[in-house]
Amino acid sequence: MSIILHCFGESGNSYKAALTLELSNLTWKPEKVDFFKGATRTSGFKSLNLMGEAPVMVDGEVILTQSGAIQQYASDKSGKLSGLTKDKYEILRWMFFDNHKMSSQAGNTRFMMNFLPEKHRNKEVIHFMQGRLSAAYDILNNALEDKDWLVGTSITIADVANCGYLFYPEPFGFERKKWVNIDRWLSNIEQTPGWKHPYDLMPGNPSDRL
C-alpha cells in the first residue's frame, strides 16, 4: 500500500517530508492540499491534523504530522538517510536547528515576501526576519566548511531538513553564491540519485495562480 503525503509544492515543510520519502525509495504519492484556498483551515483537514498544517503523512493506520517526525518515520521504515548509529543525536540536533532557525523562519519570510497580498507585507518585520535568517545561514555555512554533509559521510535526514527552503526560486533573502559552503552542499544534494526540485516532486506551483 502506498504512503499518502498531503502536501503542496510551495511548502518547504512538505518538501522535506516528500524528498525524504523519495530518496528513501518508499512507495508514496502526493495528495494536494489546496493551501491557497484555505484548505488547512477547514474542519475536514483539522480532523486529519489538529495543528492545521501540511505535511500530513498517512501510511495505513499511521497518521503523522510535523515534517521532522515524518522524516524520522521514513528513515526508520526504509533504513535510509539515517547515518551511523553513533551520529543519531547529532542528526537530531540539526533537525531541531532546522525546525527552529531555518524552515520556520524561511517559510514565514518567503510567505510574507511572495504570497501575502502586498498591502499586508510589513517591511520592518521582513527586515528583522532576514537578519535572523542570515545568521542561521552563516551557522549552516560554517558547519559545512570542508564537509560534504552535515553529519557523517553520507546524506542524512539532517541535510534533507535544512535544505527544505533553499531550492525555491522566489526571493526571500537567500542567494546561493553568498554562502559558498551551502552552495556546494546544495549541489551535493541535487546530485543525489532520485533528487527532485520541490515543484517537480509535489503538485502546486505559483504559476497555478497567475
- Cβ-based nearer residue to ligand GSH, 24 or 66: 66
As beta bridge partners, residue 32 has 7
What per-residue string of b and e applies to 80-105 under the rule 16 or more CB within 10 Å gives b? bbbbeeebeebbeebbebbbebbbeb
Give min distance, CB of 11 to ligand GSH, in A: 4
Q: Does 71 interact with ligand GSH (rule: CB under 6 A)?
A: no
Compute the distance between CA of residue 174 and CA of residue 165 in angstroms, rounded to an integer.
Answer: 9
Residue of 80, 55, 83, 79 lying closest to 69 (CA atoms): 55
Decide: 165 and 12 in contact? Cβ < 8 Å: yes
* Cβ atoms within 10 Å, residue 170: 12
Taking CB under 6 A as the criterion, the residue among 20, 24, 40, 109 binding ligand GSH is 40
Taking CB under 6 A as the criterion, the residue among 6, 28, 64, 67 binding ligand GSH is 67
- Cβ-based nearer residue to ligand GSH, 14 or 24: 14
Q: Does 66 interact with ligand GSH (rule: CB under 6 A)?
A: yes
Residue of 62, 41, 140 lying closest to 54 (CA atoms): 41
Q: Does 54 interact with ligand GSH (rule: CB under 6 A)?
A: yes
Give min distance, CB of 152 to ligand GSH, in A: 23
Give min distance, CB of 184 to ligand GSH, in A: 26
Q: What is the DSSP letter of 112?
A: I
Compute the distance between CA of residue 5 and CA of residue 20 in angstroms, rounded to an integer.
Answer: 11
116-135 footprint of ligand GSH as x/- string (CB under 6 A): --------------------
Q: Does 13 interact with ligand GSH (rule: CB under 6 A)?
A: yes
Q: What is the DSSP letter of 1?
A: -
Q: Does 99 interact with ligand GSH (rule: CB under 6 A)?
A: yes
Compute the distance between CA of residue 37 and CA of residue 26 in angstroms, rounded to an integer.
Answer: 30
| Piece in contact with ligand GSH (CB under 6 A), picked from 20-28, 66-74, 131-139, 150-158 | 66-74
Interface residues with ligand GSH (CB under 6 A)?
11, 13, 40, 52-55, 66-68, 99, 107
